[in-house]
Structure 1
């Protein structure tokens, strides 16, 4: 890493601008690439040789390679444009005289290569200028923000998320946002200074927790409302037998709600109970209270009340089974613990097999 830094420093002037070392120009001429050597001489003549400018903290002046590629490309195109017509004319003459064709082809190929290389260098310069403009636009979009999402920058450019992330990383590499800037992929944003914002995943988890808390609060209010309605219906409906059954329903419902409050994960097992059985039971009791309030024991009223009274036993039994169902996982855990303890006691010889078999037969 240190050697690479020393090598790249040869291509910088003290003021931070680009510098073409002499040994590179000499080597180019020795290898026969005199057009490139001339281009390098011209590029060296364009170097900024003024005094070093004071750098701002966190900034880094980069070598302006755009001008190098532009100068090199222009010079190569000029050289090839001057020599290419003569090479073509010479090739035609050789072909007419049937001699020296191979030499003419070499000249033509060489000049064509210089032309292609020159055009390629111009395209490279144009591409670098375009990228530089995009980076300046990104800096303008970010402004003085401490952090900004990649999607927001992508929408302003416009560009794809992936391409924007690459351009932001290039801006960071060029030191355009300071030394402490970085891309935080957890929150999918550019952090210029300070801490990264909360990540999308953490935000989603936080929102889910808040939604669960709101749902729990709503359920709590709903539980209290249902229990109050059961007590009010019990007060409205006379008769000791019906009152006892309603009181039993209220007691069972209260126990079911208590478990749901303490263990919200069991809400799934009581969803049908909450969505159908309990509302239907309340509807029947409301109907019974309304019928009883008429003060008339006609055929329709009397038959309807008796049907509801007969259904109350079934409702109580269903509520009892719902409460028992909510302890299914505990029952499974207890059975598993007992079986494990019995096997361990048998393996350690702490009890006789006959004793364990008797316990299991009782179970």
Structure 2
């Protein structure tokens, strides 16, 4: 028979018998048979376990979960293909602070790639072990007989076995990545963003590894979308959150620019700086007065503090519009207002100890003092506005004179007393 495969088979059979019949190698055949039997048994058991894992994974995928004895529960969205946003997950700008809690991120049920990783491992073992055993046999036969004849098929079998080993390694690599993906999802817990440091702490990895890992997961569509800030400190899972983040960054940039511009203005204009400082102090005093008022229960005291806050606010507003009046309220700022605030705070403290002896008398004295202070501050406001009032009177008198000269009115513009 001229069949080359038949001739090759006969040659293998003769060589194997020749080797096995040698006394120096009488145990080689037994060793090889035992090895093949044990290997075949392990492959059978591994295939059985792997097929059981595949069956459970398929059932869990249909049920909307992904549970297996060696897997951590995870859920992630397969996601639908959308047009890539203008910023990729490599270039997304980032917050210098932790972003606010945006809307919840809801991954779809199931773990992408879980069944595929199991199949890679199963078929890798099914291919690698038999090929490796055959390659070993061929190499042994070649070494015992004609190496030049057996080297080529042994090398081919070795390369094929290594290819299946690579398949096994890829399967285990994907399986570990899916396990980390489940850990990431557990930490993210439905949020649409997460700090990289938080994920690194949960997985026991450094931040650089987590960034690369998340990037690969986005490329593999485990996460349908993913965006990093430039510092790679925050991971955002959808484009809507990324847009909100960009808007927050833009607001922060505008606020910083406005602060810088106002600082330049204040540095260039000392009078404006003094007015701004006065307004800041005034707002602080008004805030404290309102806080004290909110803590009081007596209507009379509350009404007096209402009047006080109203008059003080009008003084500050007027001086803000008329900066030249600022020197006239220096004593008001440096002494009168701080002293008034101390009285109000003392009244609040006394109000908390209403049952103590002498408290009512002290509270009455403070209320009377607040009456006098309100009158004094009202007079201060009138004094500040005196020039404007005189100007108004002069304008009214001038109009009356002009109307009288033109015969336009026989009555004055001033109301009769």
TM range (shorter): 0.3 to 0.5
So what's the TM-score if we normalise by structure 2?
0.34
Structure with larger RCO (C-alpha < 8 A, sep 6+): 2
So what's the TM-score if we normalise by structure 1?
0.38
